[in-house]
Structure formats: structure tokens, C-alpha cells
């Protein structure tokens, strides 16, 4: 497969349920406020966006927490975060916001959390939040070469198109890491193609026998990414609930990254 196919990405999850719908509504709110230099009331925004006013208020208050909106004299205006985005420290600002959110999520889960991306044919772990009570998984084999076995890797590959997946597996052939690792490329491709975009991807000791993981997509702008957690295999009974919490927290993270 030629190199250009590395960028092929499927638009999975577009038009689907939250967290993608939440992100789109948040962006529409920001656009509506931006069109009103003097600010907009909750009632005006609700009418324009055809949202129930209580739902609009909840969304606006979440944007206020993130610094994207401010309420002044009864109207919503754009917040100070937008002033920062035009400065030279934009990337550092985004990374700092991301790290804070990951740390909050780590403490809420009681487990390490990760933000990863797939860019130009490669998997990268962009940020990790771990602690003594929430240790990160031991990277005993390079994550870049083991996407077929990890929840992070399968979640990212699942967001590529067919050719993009084939290209990755041609450059990083599947290898057995544990007795649970899928080593048949066709079986792996079949599972990736059948994975629903809104269902968390699990790794049940496929990468390491002492670890289980879960990952959910995080797609903002051109970013193909995922939010993941890992925990000792003895905590398998907690993994489903952790995966559900990841899904619930993905929308605020997507908003923080949509810059």
C-alpha cells in the first residue's frame, strides 16, 4: 500500500449520538454567540438553535466552565479562552488544559488515563496521567508496533478506512504478545470493521497478561484520537463502568481539543 493511504480516515460517528452530538451543539452555540457582538440571552440562543432552554443553559454553563463563554449582565459573550488561542503559546495552552482534564478523570476513575492520536500513519501517546494509586501500563513492547493488541491501537485503527488499516498492518504486522492476542490479520480487520463507533474498545489482556484497558474515540477537527484507561487485570469487574465514564467524559475533552 502506498504512503498516501496512511492519511485515509473514515468519518465514523458523524451524525451519531453523543459525545459527537454534544460537541456539535456546543460549536453551534459558540457560533451563535459570535454572531452577536453585544451578547445573547439564553432564550435567544435556544430559539435560534431550536433547543429547550434548560438544555441550552446547561451547555452554556459547561462552556463557561471551560472559559469559552462568559455571562455578563444577563447575556452570554465569548470567554477569555479565545483570546489565548491566537497567541504563540496556543499549543502549550491546549496541552495544559488537556493534562488538567486527564488528571481529573484519572482521580475519578482511580486508574491511569491516556490521550492518543493517529497521525501520518503512526500511533502516538500524546499525554498520560498516572499516579501511585493509578499506575500506567508498563510499555514492554512499543505501542506503535502493537496497535493490533491494545485498546488504544484498535480504537485508532477503527477510525481509519479499510486501506488505512491495511497499510498500517503491512508496516506493523500482527505478532503474538499473549495467548489472547489476535494474530490473524483478516480476523482483526473483521472485528475492526464491525466495531460500532459508539461502543468502547476493550483489551482483555491482549497486550499484557496483567492489564486490561478500554478506549473511546475522541475526534476534534482533523484529530483522530482516543481517550483510554488501563488497570490491573484483577480489576476487570470495574472496566465496563470505567469505559462508560470515558464515553461520558469524551465530549468535554473533545471541546478542549477542538481548537
Burial class (CB in 10 A: 0-12, 13-18, 19+), 119: middle
Q: Which three cell numbers stand for residue 151?
A: 485498546
Burial class (CB in 10 A: 0-12, 13-18, 19+), 146: buried
Per-residue pLDDT of the chain (259 residues), as tens digits, is: 334 334 444 433 333 345 567 788 888 899 898 888 778 999 999 999 999 999 999 999 988 887 888 888 888 988 877 655 555 555 666 677 788 889 989 999 999 999 999 999 999 999 999 999 999 999 999 999 999 999 999 999 999 999 999 999 999 999 999 999 999 999 999 999 999 877 899 999 999 999 999 999 987 667 789 999 999 999 999 999 999 999 988 877 776 665 4
Q: What was the pLDDT predicted at 10?
A: 40
> Is the model's pTM score more than 0.85?
no
| 254 CB-near residues (< 8 Å, 6+ apart) | 19, 20, 23, 218, 219, 220
- The domain segmentation of the chain, as residue ranges, is 96-257
| 3-class DSSP assignment, residue 63 | helix
Q: What was the pLDDT predicted at 17?
A: 45
Q: What was the pLDDT predicted at 153?
A: 97
Q: What was the pLDDT predicted at 1?
A: 37
Grid look-up 456539535 returns 24
Q: How many helices (H) and strands (E) does the chain have?
A: 9, 7
The answer to whether the bond into 19 is cis (omega within 30° of 0) is: yes
Q: What was the pLDDT predicted at 98?
A: 82
Architecture of domain 96-257: 2-Layer Sandwich (3.30)
Q: What was the pLDDT predicted at 97?
A: 74
Q: What was the pLDDT predicted at 9?
A: 44
Report whether 98 contacts 253 (CB < 8 A): yes
Amino acid at each position: 500500500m502506498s504512503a498516501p493511504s496512511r492519511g485515509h480516515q473514515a468519518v465514523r460517528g458523524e451524525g451519531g449520538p453523543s459525545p459527537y452530538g454534544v460537541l456539535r451543539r456546543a460549536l453551534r452555540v459558540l457560533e451563535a454567540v459570535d454572531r452577536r457582538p453585544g451578547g445573547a440571552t439564553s432564550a435567544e440562543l435556544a430559539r435560534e438553535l431550536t433547543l429547550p432552554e434548560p438544555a441550552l443553559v446547561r451547555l452554556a454553563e459547561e462552556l463557561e466552565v471551560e472559559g469559552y463563554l462568559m455571562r455578563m449582565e444577563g447575556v452570554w459573550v465569548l470567554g477569555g479562552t479565545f483570546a489565548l488561542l491566537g497567541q504563540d503559546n496556543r499549543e502549550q495552552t491546549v496541552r495544559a488544559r488537556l493534562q488538567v482534564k486527564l488528571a481529573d478523570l484519572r482521580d475519578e476513575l482511580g486508574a491511569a488515563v491516556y490521550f492518543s492520536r493517529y497521525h501520518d500513519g503512526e500511533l502516538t501517546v500524546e499525554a498520560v496521567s498516572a499516579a501511585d494509586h493509578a499506575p500506567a501500563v508498563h510499555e514492554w513492547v512499543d505501542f506503535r508496533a502493537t496497535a493490533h493488541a491494545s485498546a488504544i491501537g484498535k480504537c485508532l485503527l477503527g477510525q481509519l478506512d479499510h486501506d488505512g488499516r491495511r497499510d498500517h498492518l503491512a508496516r506493523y504486522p500482527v505478532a503474538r504478545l499473549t495467548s489472547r492476542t489476535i494474530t490473524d490479520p483478516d480476523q482483526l480487520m473483521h472485528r475492526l470493521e464491525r466495531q460500532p463507533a459508539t461502543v468502547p474498545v476493550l483489551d482483555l489482556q491482549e497486550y499484557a497478561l496483567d492489564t486490561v484497558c478500554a478506549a473511546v474515540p475522541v475526534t476534534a477537527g482533523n484529530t483522530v484520537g482516543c481517550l483510554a484507561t488501563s488497570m490491573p487485570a484483577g480489576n476487570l469487574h470495574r472496566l465496563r463502568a470505567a469505559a462508560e465514564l470515558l464515553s461520558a467524559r469524551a465530549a468535554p475533552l473533545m471541546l478542549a481539543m477542538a481548537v
